Amino acid sequence: MALYFFHTETADSLADEDGVELPSCIAACEMAIKVAGELMRDGASTFWATRPWKVTVTDGKGLILLEIEICGYAAPAFPH
What string of H, E and C letters represents the secondary structure of 15-69? CCCCCEEECCHHHHHHHHHHHHHHHHHHCCCCHHHCCCEEEEEECCCCCEEEEEE
| pLDDT computed for residue 49 by the predictor | 77
The pTM score is: 0.88
Residues 6+ apart with CB under 8 A from 61: none
Q: How confident is the model at residue 44 (pLDDT cuts 50, 70, 90)?
A: confident
Dihedral angle over CA of 16, 17, 18, 22, nearest 10: 50
Gap between the Cα atoms of 4 and 28, Å rounded: 7
- Does 6 have pLDDT greater than 80? yes
pLDDT the model gives residue 50: 81
* pLDDT range class, residue 51, cuts 50, 70, 90: confident
Per-residue pLDDT, 64: 98
